[in-house]
Amino acid sequence: MFQGSVDFPDAGVALRQNTEFKAALPKTKDEVPFTFGLAVADGAPNLVFQSWVDLREGDAKEELQRKNRNAQATLGSVYDCAFQDTKRFGSFEDNVDLVGGLRTAAGALSDANGSKLIVVFSNGIQTSGKPNFGDDFPDSIEAADAILDQLEAANALPNLSGTKVEWFGLGQQTAGSISIEQQTYNTLEHFWRNLILRSGGVPPADFATGALGSEAKPGSASSLPLAPIRGVCLFTLDETRGFEFKPDSADFVSVSGAQAGAEYLAALIRESGCGQTSLRVTGYTASGKDKEKFEADGPNYNLSKLRAEAFADLLTSLGLNVEEAIGGGKGPTVDWDGDGKFDPELGKLNRIVVVEEIR
């Protein structure tokens, strides 16, 4: 799924080189037919292309490899043509509806068997449909969650059940656009990560930057600017940056690594202008056990609070004003597989600390 507006850089190269799509392509005849397609998230999202990788009786393995190469090349060609051939594809509608785009992409995969993957190329700025960040941008975690509550209550979330989502280009805009501050980026990431979770999907481990150009693709649609917002102090750190503890303990695996992570985060907070702000640190843990044995109000809360306090102490020692350290229990990611067994890789996504402004 791609964003077709003038504020998002050309994603053609990133799409053609995308390793997540390449890895998902069928490796054996037992994995075909393989459905793939391309959806645009403009003001009126639609599926611009859909096709299949399949084998005929007697086709050799080399034929499957050839068809896989053609599949990714075809997506790149269709992406180019969608901007150029208005007679065939029509013109893009003004503005961007990413929720609608996710709904369209998920609908195209609804009848597919096996694993499902949606790769998103977008800066995350929705200016059409609901929510509309051109009118109002959430200026706190609570405001972002309130929007998600409204979407959920209205049954307006896309059905991403069983779907893995990868995302490239969050926060990236074309040259000349007003740059997005770190706090705004953090709010966008929180919103889309939790929208994917509430929709039943698996969010990306990282909203990665892609090999995007600096200019929009010719033929892109116009879009409203992001609504003026007050800076939001919101930062997330995972175990790759030092928030890593020994099993069932609030002792860091590496004290020096945790110190380096705290220094990294403290620098981001000061650069954002939030250095004198009263801060809250919330710790989260993985479930750590199979679903049937997990207790939502069990020991995870105590452990997550102790870990939050340990990290808060590091931030306080660096001169930041941490007023609260609380436990959030199990993190937001569903870290069980389809059989309810604990998945250690998904569990890593839950071992995080969130630092935010107390408002």
Residue ranges of alpha helices (H) inside the chain are: 12-16, 19-24, 61-84, 86-89, 98-108, 141-153, 182-198, 255-271, 299-317, 344-348
Q: How far apart (Å, rounded) are the C-alpha atoms in residues 132 and 127?
A: 5
Q: What is the pLDDT of residue 350?
A: 84
Q: What is the pLDDT of residue 131?
A: 94
Residue 229 has a pLDDT of 55
Q: Are 263 and 318 in contact (CB under 8 A)?
A: yes
Over its length of 359 residues, how does the chain's per-residue pLDDT go in tens digits? 999 999 999 999 999 999 999 999 998 888 888 999 999 999 999 999 999 988 887 777 788 889 999 999 999 999 999 998 877 877 899 999 999 999 999 999 988 888 999 999 999 999 999 999 988 888 777 888 899 999 999 999 999 999 999 999 998 888 766 667 767 888 899 999 999 999 999 999 888 876 788 899 999 999 887 766 555 577 888 888 888 899 889 999 999 999 999 998 898 888 877 778 899 999 999 999 998 988 877 788 899 999 999 999 999 999 999 999 999 898 877 788 878 899 888 888 888 888 888 87
pLDDT at 203: 94
So what's the architecture of 234-357 in CATH?
A: 2-Layer Sandwich (3.30)
In this prediction the pTM is: 0.69
Q: Which residue bears the tokens 């999907």?
A: 201
Q: What is the pLDDT of residue 230?
A: 52
125-160 residue pLDDT tens: 999 999 999 888 887 778 888 999 999 999 999 999
- The pLDDT of residue 22: 92
What residue spans define the domains of the chain? 2-198, 234-357
Angstrom CA distances, 177 to 214, 272, 320, stand at 10, 19, 32
CA distances from 133 to 96, 138, 171, 221 (A): 10, 8, 13, 17
User: Over the stretch 230-270, which tens digit does the pLDDT of each residue have?
Assistant: 555 778 888 888 888 998 899 999 999 999 999 988 988 88
- Residue recorded with tokens 């002792």: 251
Q: Which fold has domain 2-198?
A: Rossmann fold (3.40.50)
Domains 2-198 and 234-357 share a fold: no
